[in-house]
Amino acid sequence: MPEYLPPPALCDLSAQPCAIKSALADVQRRLATTQALARIGDWTLERDSARTTWSPELFRMFERPLEWGAPDVNEISAYLSSESLERTRETFWHAIDSGERLTLEHEVVLPSGARRHQLTVIVPVADADGRVFMLYGTVQDITERKAIEAERMQHMARVAELSRRLMEVGEHERRQLAAALHDRSSPNLAALKLIFANISRALPASMDDELGLLLDDAKALLADTDMGIREICATLRPATLDYAGLAPAIREYASQVARHSHTAVELDLDERTAALPPELQTLLFRITQEALTNCTKHASATLVRVSLHCVAGQIRLQVCDDGCGFDPAQLGKVDGVTPGLGLITMRERAELAGGHFQMRSAPGNGTVIEVDLPAPTCKC
């Protein structure tokens, strides 16, 4: 517990009385100026007698005439707003019972009707037996700071809402684009396949050598185009996510990644995640998709492990590769290289959903992406 020390000028008994007086007056003047500038007042409260002292700045902060003297405990309570009264009382009693230094934010209603936010620091002073016999501390006016804080919180909430809306709109547009691409191309590709099959059947054996090979090439091109469009549609918005849920959608995307790269993908996926709210499944899918894309684009990994687990209302997604890794501190610092938005978007998606995003990487040591999300409705 901190010791209560009188001001140093009062201890210097060897000094001349007039010098002491002038030093004291100087200290008091400087203290009053400092308190007025900082809008901090100080107080003391004796436990047994309930006697209080207030510094002049406190009188000003509470719009209390100096000649009224420091208020008693009941008068102090009358300044507190009804929302702050009980909590303030409890905190003072807690400081007395525990002997702990405490801080407390509360609201007061001044005689003019103005409401002000204040921060009070309470320091208990105990005797040799450990019994608290007095309290002292400070009161600081934090109204402006609270207002700025509230404005900042509102601003952040607006930005978060905007980001959420942007993501929803993005997801909606991807879905529309995938549907349009599929609807426009799928019937034509199917018709072309039938036409090629009919031509094959109708082709006289004498023309087989000449046209048969060309026809085989055309069929292979058609199959490749069909597969390409399917993959683009699945990347834009996998229908599997809507029909079967997160784990099958990740499996589908992982096999696409393995097909097109030299990276093997090992999966350990909790099927119960199919019961998660659709927007959470979409979010986890998009993070996995970006992490896997990064593995093929940047990591030159031979193996990527994706694990998705749901434990006690908490989901953990981990994407871990054995690739080249990188130094996260160097992101955006390499001249001529504009960093992408993938990592930032992954973090933003996770944090907007109330989750936590972590990335660990080092050159030569692979990369780990970890996302923890609250999923209160998850029955796991």
Ligand X SMILES: Nc1ncnc2c1ncn2[C@@H]1O[C@H](COP(=O)(O)OP(=O)(O)O)[C@@H](O)[C@H]1O
CA-CA distance, 153 to 151, in Å (whole number)? 5
Is the separation of the CB atoms in 368 and 304 below 8 Å?
Answer: no
Q: Residue 295: which of ligand X, Mg ion, none does it interact with, CB under 5 to 8 A by kind?
A: ligand X
Decide whether 141 or 321 has the Cβ nearer to ligand X. Answer: 321
CA-CA distance, 192 to 202, in Å (whole number)? 15
C-alpha distances (whole Å) from 147 to each of 81, 115, 153, 200, 333 are 17, 12, 10, 78, 37
Amino acid letter for position 350? A
**Helix 246-260 vs helix 213-236: angle between axes, to the nearest 10 degrees?**
140
Decide whether 245 or 323 has the Cβ nearer to ligand X. Answer: 323
Residue 359 touches Mg ion, criterion: CB under 5 A: no
Per DSSP, the residues of 273-328 read: GGGS-HHHHHHHHHHHHHHHHHIIIII--SEEEEEEEEETTEEEEEEEE-S----G
Decide whether 135 or 299 has the Cβ nearer to Mg ion. Answer: 299
Residue 320, token pair as written in the block: 């871990």
Decide whether 89 or 297 has the Cβ nearer to ligand X. Answer: 297
Q: How many residues of this chain bind ligand X (CB under 6 A)?
A: 17
Of 339, 358, 360, 362, the residue at the interface with ligand X (CB under 6 A) is 339
CA-CA distance, 45 to 229, in Å (whole number)? 78
Please, what sign has the CA dihedral across residues 268, 270, 274, 276?
A: negative
Decide whether 105 or 370 has the Cβ nearer to ligand X. Answer: 370
Q: Residue 264: which of Mg ion, ligand X, none does it interact with, CB under 5 to 8 A by kind?
A: none
Q: How many residues of this chain bind Mg ion (CB under 5 A)?
A: 3
Query: Where in 347-376 is the site for ligand X (CB under 6 A)?
Result: 367
Compose the 298-337 pattern: x for residues touching ligand X by CB under 6 A, - for all others. xx---------------------x-xxxx----x------
Residue 348 touches Mg ion, criterion: CB under 5 A: no
What is the Rg, in whole angstroms, of the alpha carbon atoms belonging to the chain? 35
We find the least distance from the C-beta atom of residue 301 to ligand X, in angstroms, to be 7
Closest CA relative to residue 46, chosen from 122, 124, 130, 135: 135
Of 35, 88, 140, 294, the residue at the interface with Mg ion (CB under 5 A) is 294
Is the separation of the CB atoms in 133 and 48 below 8 Å?
Answer: yes
CA-CA distance, 75 to 55, in Å (whole number)? 16
Residue 294 touches ligand X, criterion: CB under 6 A: yes
Compose the 182-221 pattern: x for residues touching ligand X by CB under 6 A, - for all others. ----------------------------------------
Of 203, 342, 345, 374, the residue at the interface with Mg ion (CB under 5 A) is 342
Decide whether 7 or 340 has the Cβ nearer to Mg ion. Answer: 340
Name the residues that contact ligand X, by CB under 6 A.
294-295, 297-299, 321, 323-326, 331, 339-343, 367
Name the residues that contact Mg ion, by CB under 5 A.
294, 340, 342
